[in-house]
Structure 1
Amino acid sequence: MSDSTGNTGTGDLTYNLVSILFHALQGAETYDQYIRDAEEEGDSNLAEFFRSVKQENSARADRAKVLLHARLHPAS
């Protein structure tokens, strides 16, 4: 299976990886508001859940960054 470039000039697999990275980072940022909302309502269980989800997305973004770097800078 090839990593076709479609209309973007970027390989599909690289594009998909960038998309995962973007959405993980965007989600982590958005969850800060969810955490504040839950804390303002006094719902510590829900705030903790949102913190956990944010941490998972941050870890996912970190993994995507490593994989993207490896794709863009393959060992010689």
Structure 2
Amino acid sequence: MIRNVLKPDGTVHIEQQVGNMRYDLTTGQVDTVVPGAGATNLVFGADGRPHVELTTGSIRQDLGRPGFDTLL
């Protein structure tokens, strides 16, 4: 699935998710997404550090960081 994502800084990125890998086609960053309970995911960033994401409708929030992504 390819989608546009509006980031908190106002930029629009193109993402593609294949299985558990999320590719940011704009920056080249690759994240590993591990599904959790309900609308939460454990995401390992390119640097290997994990963070928890909560997705509600078209809003994806990285818990512990300010702002949110809007999935277009």
Same fold (TM over 0.5): no
Indicate the structure with greater helix content. 1
Indicate the structure with greater strand content. 2
Bigger relative contact order (CA 8 A; separation at least 6): 1
